[in-house]
Amino acid sequence: MLVLGVDPGSRVTGYGLVQKTGNVMTCIHAGSVSSSGNRPFNERIHRIYQSLVEVIEHYQPEEMAIEDIFVSKNARSALKLGHARGAALIAAAQCGIKIYEYTPLEIKKSVVGYGRATKEQVRSMSQIILNLQKRYGLDTSDALAAAICHLNWTRF
């Protein structure tokens, strides 16, 4: 099964495609959409949507895994994050792929075995699980972790 993991953010949205064959998980492709810069906020949000639609259409994942966020530093950053996360959800829905949401605690427990793991620990474990040579940015590794978490859950 091929799963797209997404870590939405108003500045950087990470994504990663993880394939599971038997008990082996492999990263097929991973990257991030940078939406910072001088362009208007609504163009940045549209770019997240467009980029994820392109990734989905190209790689044809069967399902999407995304972090279920219910806390944020403040209302202003939560509002911005909501736009980015909405863009990811609409991209998946428009492409007809099913969406699975996991709390940060579930993802960290599933990947590192410890719910309060740091982002760096999540990256290190994701690299080991996927046997990655490349060290991705933290947004991308968080996206890969969401995909790994989903593939771990669907095992049962």
Nearer to a copy of itself, 77 or 131 (CB): 77
94 touches a copy of itself by CB under 8 A: yes
Q: Which of 63, 67, 106, 142 is catalytic?
A: 67
Regarding 81 and contact with a copy of itself (CB under 8 A), the answer is: yes
Instruction: Judge whether 106 counts as a catalytic residue.
Output: no
Q: Given the residues 63, 106, 139, 142, select the one marked as catalytic.
A: 139
Residue 92 touching a copy of itself (CB under 8 A)? yes
Angstrom distance (rounded) from CA 76 to CA 60: 34
Q: How many other C-beta atoms lie within 10 A of the C-beta of residue 38?
A: 5
Catalytic-role residue among 7, 63, 106, 142 = 7
Q: In what order do the strands lie in the sheet with 24-34?
A: 24-34, 12-21, 2-7, 63-67, 98-102
Q: Considering the complex, what minimum distance in angstroms separates the CB of residue 36 from a copy of itself?
A: 16
60 is a contact residue toward a copy of itself (CB under 8 A): no
Is 7 annotated as catalytic? yes
Q: What's the rounded Cα separation, in Å, for the pair 10 and 96?
A: 24
- Please identify which residue in 74, 134, 155, 156 interacts with a copy of itself, judged by CB under 8 A: 74
Give the whole-angstrom CA distance, residue 128 versus residue 81. Answer: 29
Of all residues in the chain, what percent are helix, strand and coil, respectively (each to 5)?
A: 45, 25, 30
**Active-site amino acid positions:** 7, 67, 139
